[in-house]
Structure 1
Amino acid sequence: MCADIDYLAQSECIRRHHQLFGNGGKRHLDLACGTGPHVRHFIDNGYQSQGLDINQPMLDIAKLHCPEAEFSLQDMCDFKVDEKLDLITCFLYSIHYSDGIEKLKQCIASAHQALNMGGVFCFNVVEKSMIVNNSFAQYQLEHENSQFTFSSGWDYCGEGERQSLKVSIEKTTDLISQSWQDEHPMVAVSFAELKQLLAPYFEVHMFEHDYEKILAWDGHSGNAIFTCVKI
């Protein structure tokens, strides 16, 4: 499902953000790290990188990819670290897995507590008022003589703090097709609401959701990168 993601470009972009706004330290934690592709790139760039996820099978794979890293089975909304960090990342809109505003508040507070002064919390996020329901990203690939079609999209009723991520998978082998659908509960938040939640803890900088260039948010697009410096 993640075959078309450019993990290197994402990691390199956020590393540049950290160079611009960070405290110069190299201790890094990736929230919702999955199988560790971002952790791998940060290690290769000289960071003391570690990962956190709620899925142990994912962490087992991550350890194979990054044997020099530490991985912990924790909830990103209520996590603790042994030593203070200089950079915390959360890629692939995973910040929305904080199921509700109260959980999101806990995630922000946990990140603040885990960072050194001047440390950076960086993540990407979607503005709830600009979600287009039933607008799906779709791509295909071949694997072990089967054709897979993956699609995913946001779904939001237009009010409240709940949205969902709808995922569909279709597998075709020898002209026989199977399909699966899933729906993940996610927190819905506006950029204005999010800035208010972050304000007691961080100096907030907003950027366009572009991993090739560092551009200030234009005030109109519905996806953004938040770079938050601990105060």
Structure 2
Amino acid sequence: MCADIDYRAQSQGIRRLHQLFGNGGNSHLDLACGTGPHICHFLDDGFQCQGLDINQPMLDVAQQRCPEAVFSVGDMCAFQVAQPFDLVTCFLYSIHYSDGIEKLKGCIRSAHQALSENGLFCFNAVDKTRINNNLYVCHTAQHDGSEFSFRSGWHYAGPGERQSLRLSIDRNTNGVCESWQDEHPMVALSFGEFEALLKPWFEVHIFEHDYERILPWDGESGNAIFACVKR
């Protein structure tokens, strides 16, 4: 399902933001790290990495993929670390998996406490007021003799603090087709609301959702990268 994601480009884009806004350190914590694809690239760039995720089977894969890193099971909305980190990341819109605004506040507070002086917290987000419920992203991939077709899109019924990521998966194996539908509940905010939650803790910079170039958010697009320097 993630075959079209350029993990290297995303990792390098955040590394450039760290060079511009960070404190020059190389300790890194990836929240909702999954199977560790981003951590691999940070390790290649000389970072000392740890990963946190709520799913142990995914962490087992991550440990095999990145034996140099340290992985632990935990809730990104309520965690503590033994030593501070210079960079905390949360990729693939995973910050929206916080179960409501109060849990999101806990995630922001935990990330702030986990950072060293002038440390950087980076994540990507979607603005609930700019979601087009009819817009989907599609791609296909080959795996184990089957062709998979994936479609995903944000849905916000409004008003309130709930949105969802809707997924559909089709598998075609020798002419036999199967289909699955899934929906992930997520917390919904506007970028203004995000910024208001972050500002007591961080100096906030918002950029276009482009990992190849560093461009200030244009105030219109519905996806953005947040770079937050610890106050």
Q: TM-score, normalised by structure 2?
A: 0.99
For 1:143 and 1:157, the matched residues in 2 are separated by 34
What whole-Å deviation, never above 9, does each CA across 1:97-118 have from its counterpart, x for those lacking one? 0111111100000000100110
Query: Tell me, which stretches of 5 or more residues in structure 2 are unaligned?
Result: none
What amino acid maps onto 1:8 in structure 2?
Answer: R
Could you say which residue in structure 2 is the equivalent of 1:135?
Answer: 135
Q: Which runs of 4+ in 1 moved over 2 A?
A: none
What whole-Å deviation, never above 9, does each CA across 1:157-208 have from its counterpart, x for those lacking one? 1210000111111111111111111111100000111111001100000100
Does 2:24 correspond to 1:24?
Answer: yes
What whole-Å deviation, never above 9, does each CA across 1:39-82 have from its counterpart, x for those lacking one? 01001100001111111110000001100100010011011111
Query: Tell me, which stretches of 5 or more residues in structure 1 are unaligned?
Result: none
**What is the root-mean-square deviation in Å for CA atoms of aligned residues?**
0.6
1:143: Cα distance to partner?
Answer: 1.2
Could you say which residue in structure 1 is the equivalent of 2:217?
Answer: 217
Could you say which residue in structure 2 is the equivalent of 1:86?
Answer: 86
1:134: Cα distance to partner?
Answer: 2.9
For 1:144 and 1:72, the matched residues in 2 are separated by 31
Q: Secondary structure at the match of 2:104?
A: helix
For 1:230 and 1:83, the matched residues in 2 are separated by 16
% same residue: 67
Equivalent positions of 1:103-182 (< 5 A) are: 103-182=103-182
What whole-Å deviation, never above 9, does each CA across 1:83-141 have from its counterpart, x for those lacking one? 10100000111110011111110000000010011000000000100000031111001
Could you say which residue in structure 2 is the equivalent of 1:62?
Answer: 62
What amino acid maps onto 1:53 in structure 2?
Answer: D
